[in-house]
Amino acid sequence: MNIRSDLVDAHDRVWRSISQAGTWLTAEQRVAVLQASRSALICVLCGERKSALSPNAVQGVHEGVTSILSREAIDVVHKLVTDPGRITRAWVNGCLANGLTDAEYVEIAGLTSAIMVVDTFHAALGLPLRDVPVPRSGEPARNRPTTARKEDSYVPMIPQDGLQGDYSNLYDLSSRFVPNVHRAFSLVPEATRCADDLMASHYFPYEQVPAYTDADHDYAINKVQMELLASRVSIRNDCFY
């Protein structure tokens, strides 16, 4: 099967980033997030919670527990993979109260979501999943954007007028519209850049989504078909946004 090179290149960059220290997580922890995201798919506890009316009432131990990640970190990965539509403010606050920082939570969520893109693409095309990378040496950057602020969201985000320094180009301000989904992971700008990279090759850049027409791309499916796919994924994931 002939896969566009821009897709393969984007996946390569995601995989390379997994093996490197992130903003708050070590390379070992990021690789463990990948392993946890795959373990979640066969996790008995997640299956029971998914089918329960009150998922938080179901207690137990997740599949693939490792000492490299905290219990809360593993819970975030598994929840995000298996039941993202039932993430609530109270649940997020519980994760933060139990030791995760908001920035660690965002990095884990961003990384898990990026992994889902690559693994889902491979599963969809019947391709073998990429190998788990070997973690490289290095320390997390630990740089928190000073202009990120709490809005109505569960975690702080960088506002449209808060770009500066090494994240001055995080959004495309030539567009008047920066969608909130683009800002979702901005507490960890590298997570946003990873999502940007994937969007550019898999769909359209965030700020350009509303304006794109079929005259602006050379994909083999049209924009109406793309919107149908996107909407169906959203509803299957119970995503209100």
Residues 143-202 that bind other proteins (CB under 8 A): 151-155, 157, 177, 179-181, 183-185, 195, 198-199, 201-202
Instruction: Tell me the per-residue interface mask from 6 to 25 with other proteins, x by CB under 8 A, - otherwise.
Output: -x------------------
Secondary structure string (H, E, C) spanning 194-226:
HHHHHHHHHCCCHHHCCCCCHHHCCCCCCHHHH
What is each CA distance from 111 to 57, 165, 202, 204, 221, in whole angstroms?
A: 27, 23, 17, 20, 28
Q: For other proteins, which is the closer residue by CB, 136 or 177?
A: 177
* Binding window for other proteins (CB under 8 A); candidates: 28-36, 57-65, 163-171, 217-225: 217-225
Q: For other proteins, which is the closer residue by CB, 62 or 182?
A: 182
| Residue 126 CB contacts under 8 Å (≥ 6 apart), including other chains | none
Q: Which one, of 41, 116, 45, lies nearest residue 82 by Cα?
A: 41
Give the residues across from 157 on adjacent strands: 149
Scanning the structure block, which residue is given the tokens 């008047």? 176
Residues 40-79 that bind other proteins (CB under 8 A): 41
Residues 103-122 that bind other proteins (CB under 8 A): 105-106, 109-110, 112-114, 116-118, 120-121
Q: For other proteins, which is the closer residue by CB, 61 or 123?
A: 123
* Binding window for other proteins (CB under 8 A); candidates: 28-36, 46-54, 59-67, 213-221: 213-221
Q: For other proteins, which is the closer residue by CB, 12 or 138?
A: 12
Whole-angstrom Cα distance, residue 5 to residue 85? 32
- Amino acid 240 reads F
Residues 23 and 143 sit within 8 Å (Cβ to Cβ)? yes
Q: For other proteins, which is the closer residue by CB, 123 or 138?
A: 123
Asked if residue 234 binds other proteins (CB under 8 A), the reply is: yes
- Amino acid 12 reads D
